[in-house]
Structure 1
């Protein structure tokens, strides 16, 4: 994860469109996508499962899909998206999320997109999603670290 400032957003217009168009294809299968995501997340790091012990996973999946959808839509208005993502990062500290967990979440997200989109998850789409997630995760990590210092 880089420490880029969000204003140095490395996503090209073409990549942003790829992320947004591919997300439109995920939306109709969002419930399945959420199940795939959490299944892969817990497979990659079983130690994360207790963080969700008191969660209704169906509801958690809806929140996840809503959050990703909001972020994807927000790629058009980074000035509004970044503060929301910073707050999300700060909140996740309270859930016990550590910086290292973001790599696992990113891997689970890419795996979910690959399974959900199949042939539509082209190498170009994967690169666009990787840049998008890495950038947003960096903002969340930076915000959570800032929250611990103050």
Structure 2
């Protein structure tokens, strides 16, 4: 079974719909949500602040553009997986470590909870948790492969 097919099985159609519908409610306030996300991330892991060298507003726009692309294609993971892998490989160069993925997940869920209020019910949270598990799993796999290759080449 291909990795993408395995991942597709992890989310139901209802979960994909919940993620897509809830994200549509967050998008109009994406700039504020991005600020909340980075505030939360830097509170949870202050050392991650040094990983962001550019304008944080620009970074927030990039974050939400990436999230929008992923959310839109959750039912077509064969499109998401290569993008997520490429993103992870770039993030290795920025200094992102595997442990950062879980912290980002917490910051994302907390941001969504705040942005969606009562719309962020247990089913929506479970759907987002599954979606992030898929995305971060793909990214960590690609990052680990990249780190392994760099380690072999350096040796």
- The aligned length equals 146
In the aligned structure 1, how far is the partner of 2:73 from the partner of 2:88? 16
- Give TM-score scaled by structure 1 length: 0.94
Q: What is the SS of the residue equivalent to 2:20?
A: helix
1:5 corresponds, among 3, 6, 10, to 3
Which has the bigger relative contact order, CA under 8 A and spacing at least 6? 1
Which protein has the bigger helix share?
2
Once the two structures are TM-superposed, the CA of residue 5 in structure 1 deviates from its matched residue by 3.2
Residue pairs, 1:1-150, within 5 angstroms:
5-9=3-7, 10-52=10-52, 54-150=53-149
Stretches of structure 2 lacking an aligned partner (at least 5 in a row): 150-155
Q: Contact 1:36/1:112 (CA < 8 Å) preserved in 2?
A: yes
Normalised to the residue count of structure 2, the TM-score between the two structures is 0.91
SS of 1:100's equivalent in the other structure is helix
Once superposed, which parts of structure 1, at least 4 consecutive aligned residues long, lie more than 6 Å away? none
Q: CA deviation at 1:64?
A: 0.4
Structure ID, larger Rg: 2
Aligned equivalents of 1:91 and 1:99: distance in 2? 13
Q: Summarize deviations over 1:50-94 as a string: whole Å, max 9, x none.
A: 111x21011000000101111101112111111111111111100
**Root mean square deviation of aligned Cα:** 1.1
